[in-house]
Amino acid sequence: MTSSRWIGIGGIAAAALALAACAPGAGDATGSGEQETPTEVSTDLASLGEITLTVWDQEVRGGQDEQMTRLNEAFQDAYPNITIERNSQSFDDLETTLRGALTGNDAPDVVQANNSRSVMGAFVGAGLLRGLDDYADAYGWTDRYAPSVLAMSSYSDDGTTFGEGHVYGLPQTGEVVGVFYSTSALADAGLDLATVTGSWEDFTDSLATIKDSGATPLELGNLDGWPAVHVFGPIQGQFADPQEIATLAMGNAGGTWLTDANEEAAATLQGWVEDGYFNDGPNGTDYDAAWADFSKGSAAYLIAGSWLAADLEAAMGDDVGFFAPPAPAGRDLATTGATGLPFAITANSPHADAAAGYLDFITSPDAMTILAETGNMPVNDTAALAPATGVNKDVFAAFGEVTTTGHLLPYLDWATPTMADTIGAALQDLIGEQSTPGEFLDTLEADYAAFVG
């Protein structure tokens, strides 16, 4: 091709630039970010006429899917005039697709939006979610939920402050991150539950004991980066101040990552790698493959969230148990955990009344019973609904204990819109021994500081 033709193409490309229309974001039909003057809300669902309610959730794993299916059927039986159109995707896919869907023309009415700043925070700031205060008054949700739980899905109107302001979502379940263990694997190393849960030191000593016996102490599948957040979080909880962790995790101003306690936590995690406590190549192992391997006896411990309990019990029966990481002497119990993803109502939904009724229905005391029956951990009435046996008995107990006498620490990746990717990659670097604990903290501090300004 001749040079003149190339130059011609370049010229055309440049000319096309001059044609570009209005600035991005102008004329988009997004809300103003202000809480609109609440119109009269109605709680009489039967009088709303024929409605189709579109609900997006990520309750795809066995027991989660079952509870959602049952509750949706029960809701439609109770209100024949309302049809639930359910769209269910995995957690990762929902994170990816929600942003586009919410701003689109046919946004769903109800969405499960992660509490994090990158999801709920960004949506609140853009005025895409409806504040639920008026419905909370009408339905009495403030009595149903503990204030600390509602705080986890509360934001100021402009989305800048996390943890106070208006309620934007209602969770169904509680989540606690802790240690799944295999009774038989502990026994093989000459250990039992009592000897490893006395204190944090007992637990870390048990890792060495298991390693010396020729077995693998810890299973981790960190190919996607985020699973390690659930390992680092509980470790950090044993060293750092819970209040400081909450500030960092919620991306509110006034915290810093650069503390000795945080460095100790990072060094501990890296030390576990250096001591060979993990399976081979956690960074190359798939999350689902890791827990499947653990259920087949690949390691003694799996530090992970309570949401795996049902699947692990199905695979391991009564060999699997669970405990919250024991605290060092003189400290309170502390571990990562929160509520399940809160259900929120989109700002442009024409069916806000029906949507709020649906939220009320799936978080009611009856719903909590169904959640417990299907192996999920209800966020309310947890202790009363605990099963008599099995791993969920341990899980419910741990959640109850941490929420009443200890500290439930928010997920660290909630902090900023980019923190999930930042901390995921930084933890892979730390585990892959590509960075020192100090460098790891610098990376997190840079992300956090850039956000809080």
Of the two residues 246 and 426, which places its CB atom closer to other proteins in the complex?
Answer: 426
Of the two residues 65 and 241, which places its CB atom closer to other proteins in the complex?
Answer: 65
Nearest to 325 by CA among 181, 148, 174, 152: 181
How far is residue 281's CA from residue 270's CA, in Å, rounded to a whole number? Answer: 13
How far is residue 203's CA from residue 196's CA, in Å, rounded to a whole number? Answer: 5
Q: How far is the CB of 383 from other proteins (least distance, A)?
A: 29
Of the two residues 149 and 427, which places its CB atom closer to other proteins in the complex?
Answer: 427
Nearest to 382 by CA among 345, 360, 408: 408
Of the two residues 126 and 368, which places its CB atom closer to other proteins in the complex?
Answer: 126
Element (H, E) at 110: strand 110-112
Q: How far is the CB of 389 from other proteins (least distance, A)?
A: 24
CA torsion, points 305, 310, 316, 318, in degrees to nearest 10?
Answer: 100
Of the two residues 97 and 243, which places its CB atom closer to other proteins in the complex?
Answer: 97
Of the two residues 204 and 422, which places its CB atom closer to other proteins in the complex?
Answer: 422
Of the two residues 127 and 163, which places its CB atom closer to other proteins in the complex?
Answer: 127
Of the two residues 27 and 49, which places its CB atom closer to other proteins in the complex?
Answer: 27
Q: How far is the CB of 375 from other proteins (least distance, A)?
A: 15
DSSP codes, 290-356: HHHHHHTTS-SEEEEEGGGHHHHHHHHGGGEEEEPPPPPTTS--EEEEEESPPEEEBTT-TTHHHHH
Nearest to 242 by CA among 164, 332, 354: 332
Q: Give the bridge partners for 182, in sequence order.
A: 320
Q: How far is the CB of 303 from other proteins (least distance, A)?
A: 18
Q: How far is the CB of 217 from other proteins (least distance, A)?
A: 17
Longest dimension (CA), the chain: 81
Q: How far is the CB of 246 from other proteins (least distance, A)?
A: 23
Burial class, 317, CB count within 10 angstroms (exposed 0-12 / middle 13-18 / buried 19+): exposed
How far is residue 234's CA from residue 429's CA, in Å, rounded to a whole number? Answer: 19
Strands 301-305 and 51-57: unpaired
Q: How far is the CB of 119 from other proteins (least distance, A)?
A: 10
The separation between the first and the last C-alpha atoms of the chain, rounded to the nearest angstrom, is 51
Q: How far is the CB of 117 from other proteins (least distance, A)?
A: 10
Q: Are 289 and 157 in contact (CB under 8 A)?
A: no
The DSSP code for 120 is: I
Phi and psi (nearest 5°) for 259?
Answer: -125, 160
Q: How many CB atoms lie within 10 A of CB 215?
A: 17
Q: Residue 302: which residues within 8 A CB-CB, separation 6 or more? A: 179, 180, 181, 218, 219, 220, 290, 291, 294, 308, 312
Q: How far is the CB of 91 from other proteins (least distance, A)?
A: 7
Q: How far is the CB of 132 from other proteins (least distance, A)?
A: 20
Burial class, 337, CB count within 10 angstroms (exposed 0-12 / middle 13-18 / buried 19+): buried
Q: How far is the CB of 229 from other proteins (least distance, A)?
A: 13
The DSSP code for 382 is: T
How crowded is the C-beta side of 126, counted as CA atoms within 13 Å?
A: 18
